[in-house]
Amino acid sequence: MATLSAYPNTNTNTNFLSPTDQSNHDRESIPPMQNHPSAEPDSDANPNFHSPLLDPPDLVPPAVAPSSLLHLSFNQDHGCFAAGTDHGFRIYNCDPFREIFRRDFDRGGGIGVVEMLFRCNILALVGGGPDPQYPPNKVMIWDDHQSRCISELSFRSEVRSVRLRRDRIIVVLEQKIFVYNFVDLKLLHQIETIANPKGLCAVSQGAGSLVLVCPGLQKGQVRVEHYASKRTKFIMAHDSRIACFALSQDGQLLATASTKGTLVRIYNTIDGSLLQEVRRGADRAEIYSLAFSSNAQWLAVSSDKGTVHVFSLKISAGSPGVLPKYFSSEWSVAQFRLVEGSQYLVAFGHQKNTVVILGIDGSFYRCQFDPVNGGEMTQLEYHNFLKPEAAF
């Protein structure tokens, strides 16, 4: 099963640097990591910082057998996306679409989690699939300038997901979340959650302090950590279990969906108030991803029903919001039809009124919606990024 993760937008102008992709970009400044061990937090998980790994894994040329996707995720500004495969991982640019680079390993090679840090050379990797490259209970910090892992975090249970900021590394286990300082990997905070097999977690990516959202300890509950004010807010978002959520870039808005999948609710993360409710459909569906536009004017939703919806958000700064009833829930203004039953990840493109859609089948769509008249979106671009010839 693929891990589909939604990320909030941000306007940071950082650049990804692979050894062969440096001509048009300035180097992203990342503080050097220090080799300070993290303290043992408890008996359930064992985060340990290890000194830089000396031997890089054996890499093989790109001409390998067709790969199967294990993971898809956008980077923090939705300008790139990462794919974990049973052979390694690949990084792509969204607009214009092209493959930036790939790393295929000759032994094992399965990568179940790939988390980018904007466009810099540092990534977080977790092994996955039937033949994982790394143990699934370890987070490997990969430096692509050196084509090797420079450090790792070890745990006593499998890692479900990882989130990165320039100042933090967040590791999500089945029922715990650990927050580390990026530079020295010092453990700063740990959070207990209800069973979280999808590794649901969202973090703000704006210039301000960290806002973190994760499942609470009850069914249908989300927990919001405001690290600047050192405040924790619990929101009973749904009666059913939480299936998906997303944060706006600044961390002030939270969109949530339950396992029922008919409604999406938008909350104020500061006071927990319900600001708006939108309706995906009348029948049950599995929501795969939610995404805010960079200005929080639009919300995109993908589900197993094969339609990507775009909703207009009627939320203005400082507005107390409204509490719509069932019959007044708002329907989407724009839609794009896809194959029903397949998994898709959605985000807003950097060009105005565009949406980028990634499929676990290797499909890449870029579409445009009419913000005034709505209706069916216009397909601008399509690629299958799993095909060997799709090297851009």
What is the CATH topology of the domain spanning 197-315+325-391? Methylamine Dehydrogenase; Chain H (2.130.10)
Which among 92, 62, 76 has a CA at the least distance from the CA of 358?
92
* pLDDT at res. 389: 52
Which among 119, 109, 112 has a CA at the least distance from the CA of 81?
119
User: Cα angle at 342 between 337 and 344, to 5 degrees?
Assistant: 70
Domain ranges of the chain: 66-156, 197-315+325-391
Cβ(213)–Cβ(247) below 8 Å: yes
Contacts of 325 (CB under 8 A, 6+ apart): none
Q: What is the pTM of this model?
A: 0.80
Cβ(180)–Cβ(218) below 8 Å: no
For 57, list phi and psi in degrees, rounded to 5: -70, 155
* pLDDT at res. 250: 86
Please give the average pLDDT of every successive group of 10 residues along the chain, which has 392 residues.
30 37 38 42 44 44 64 92 92 92 85 91 91 92 86 93 92 95 91 94 85 93 92 92 91 90 89 88 82 91 89 67 50 86 90 93 93 90 78 42
Cβ(269)–Cβ(228) below 8 Å: no
* pLDDT at res. 269: 92
Q: Per the structure block, which two tokens stand in for 95?
A: 């607009």
Which SS3 state, helix, strand or coil, does residue 328 take? helix
Give the count of beta carbons closer than 10 Å to the beta carbon of residue 290: 26
* pLDDT at res. 126: 94
User: Cα angle at 359 between 210 and 297, to 5 degrees?
Assistant: 45
* pLDDT at res. 306: 86
Q: Per the structure block, which two tokens stand in for 173?
A: 């286990």
